[in-house]
Amino acid sequence: MQDIRFGQISSSSQDIAQQQNRVLRNTYALLALSMLPTVLGALVGVQMHFWMFAGSPMMSFLLFLGIAFGFMWGIEKTKDSGMGVVLLLGFTFFMGLMLSGILRAALGFSNGGTLIAMAATGTGGIFFALAGIASTTKRDFSNMGKFLFAGLILILLAGIANMFFHIPALALAVSAIAVVIFSAYILYDINRIVHGGETNYITATLAVYLDIYNVFVNLLSLLMAFSGDRD
């Protein structure tokens, strides 16, 4: 009887491990796919000089939040169907459009292409390093959640404040902290999948995508500030 119970427990553990590995594989596959509409959206945005309410940063920010949260609400509601994938890809296209503003700013530097490539390479390096740690370590990083959320709120409040005060040093500080916070979120979100804290690959992809996106944007901002060449 004890052997039968042990066999049932062992089989159950294997099933859980297989499910977690499947979610992780599907997340990586959908994450790779989501980069295509992001790049397409960025190219379209750069060519069309896309921006929302260019004369009003606050209105642009509020509109962005409204559209982004609308997409995320829809993704959450349809995460168990193919429509969730469609909405996620639509969201990543929209985020690519929003990325075009900073890309145009970077391309205004004579070494803009190099800066963008460096930011992309740095973001990729951060992702692969932290995803590798998160998926192989036995440590559970779930206790980082509250700390990271507090850091996220701090970044958001500081970013909103700087829309009014326009303090370059504050902008650099926000970008530097954001790189650290969202890099840690990569570790946290991948680790949640590995330990069964996230069982839906669509919502998992959304979380990791936003981590990568924010690392790239803030890393590019720092590179522009310290290495941008207008000559």
pLDDT, tens digit, 9 for 90 and up, residues 173-212:
999 999 999 999 999 999 999 888 888 999 999 999 999 9
* Burial (0-12, 13-18, 19+ Cβ within 10 Å), 75: buried
Give kind and range of the element (H or E) at residue 16. helix 2-48
Could you tell me which of 206, 86, 183, 64 has the C-alpha nearest to residue 127?
A: 183
**Mean pLDDT on 45-65:** 79
Give kind and range of the element (H or E) at residue 138. none
Residue 78, token pair as written in the block:
């349809």
Residues above pLDDT 90, as percent of the chain = 68
pLDDT, tens digit, 9 for 90 and up, residues 80-114:
999 999 999 999 999 999 999 999 999 999 999 99
Which pLDDT does position 176 carry in this prediction? 95
Which pLDDT does position 21 carry in this prediction? 86
Q: What distance in Å separates the CA atoms of residue 20 and residue 16, rounded to the nearest whole number?
A: 6
**8 Å CB contact between 181 and 148:** yes
Reply yes or no on whether the pLDDT at 121 is more than 60. yes
**Mean pLDDT on 19-42:** 94
Residues above pLDDT 70, as percent of the chain = 91
**8 Å CB contact between 88 and 33:** no
Which pLDDT does position 49 carry in this prediction? 81
Which pLDDT does position 33 carry in this prediction? 97
Instruction: Band the pLDDT of 61: cuts 50, 70, 90.
Output: confident
Q: What distance in Å separates the CA atoms of residue 223 and residue 173, rounded to the nearest whole number?
A: 13
Which pLDDT does position 4 carry in this prediction? 57
Instruction: Band the pLDDT of 54: cuts 50, 70, 90.
Output: low
Question: Which residue would you say has higher pLDDT here, 15 or 190?
Answer: 190
